[in-house]
Homo-oligomer: A and B are copies of this chain.
């Protein structure tokens, strides 16, 4: 049988109110408990090992010291484990420092291949506020979250739904990072460059293409999803591309590997730039030129932003963190020069 404050009160021969007052160290004028009574209550509490039911507290108070974590993909999948891990690592670190627990919404049902926040029995309110992770978050979910004024922060930039208040996020500045690398390629003498990646769908994909186009307005764009990377390579070579920018490091690695199997050298014949980290484990651990996503820091800052929102402190609700550029060894001047 669970102990309640009433039980403690009975044992200490005081009222439930007194137990609550002692427990919360209320020493104001309105609640004067002499040391003797206080000690008696504390003694019973110690002896019984009583702890207040955190849920009953929340019913009356505002905060529960729980942050929700909602991932639009599995949190601990084997495949993308390495990719998601740093985000969670940052979130956990920050939560630990702030004395917050994390609630992973693993119960959200999967419909049409995606998880959904909103379903018949959504449990968002168990947490004070939530962090949202995932490549893509459906607009209607974002709209509704904003409309209901649920406190949340997205890890990763999100497009703003029309005519709604800004969606709070902590993202990475893919546009600048990609533009910088593209510029470097031109400065090295590359003339024909290509972008391999979806370039749309998720904001992160669109942003990279945007950064690429900002410098290489008429560079080639090849979405990789619908074809084998060998075919992609084929097309790159037939169009005399000398530097290719690949969204996913795993694809970059596969592409470089395909090139080498055809007797080409990287970066001699083809420079390969990785615009981010590997979404799946890759065999080699070559030192690719490109950038890293500040994943851990994004997690940390997202917790910070959510806390600001929850505590009502003013804070910029949309933050972009710089990506860490990696010099690497796969971007160099094209052979002809």
A: which residues have CB within 8 A of B? Answer: 2, 49, 51-56, 58-59, 64-66, 74-78, 81, 85-86, 88-89, 91-93, 95-96, 99-107, 109, 118, 120-126, 144, 148
Contacts and interface: CB of A to CB of B under 8 A. Distances in A.
B107 A100 contact: yes
Given A59-B59, A76-B85, A77-B89, A101 B101 contact: no
A168 to B, nearest CB: 20
Nearest to A71: B92
Nearest to A103: B103
B101 A54 contact: no
A120 B25 CA distance: 13
Contacts of A76: 85, 88-89, 91-93
B126 A66 contact: yes
Given A55-B55, A55-B125, A126-B101, A81 B92 contact: no
A25 to B, nearest CB: 11
Contacts of A86: 78
Q: Return the 3 tightest CB-CB contacts between A and B, nearest first.
A: A76-B89, A102-B104, A95-B106
A323 B91 CA distance: 33
A92 B78 contact: no
Contacts of A100: 106-107
13 contacts: A51-B121, A51-B124, A54-B121, A74-B96, A76-B92, A76-B93, A85-B85, A92-B106, A95-B107, A96-B106, A101-B106, A101-B107, A104-B104
Contacts of A118: 49
B107 A92 contact: no
A298 to B, nearest CB: 14
Nearest to A110: B96
A299 to B, nearest CB: 9
A125 B89 contact: no
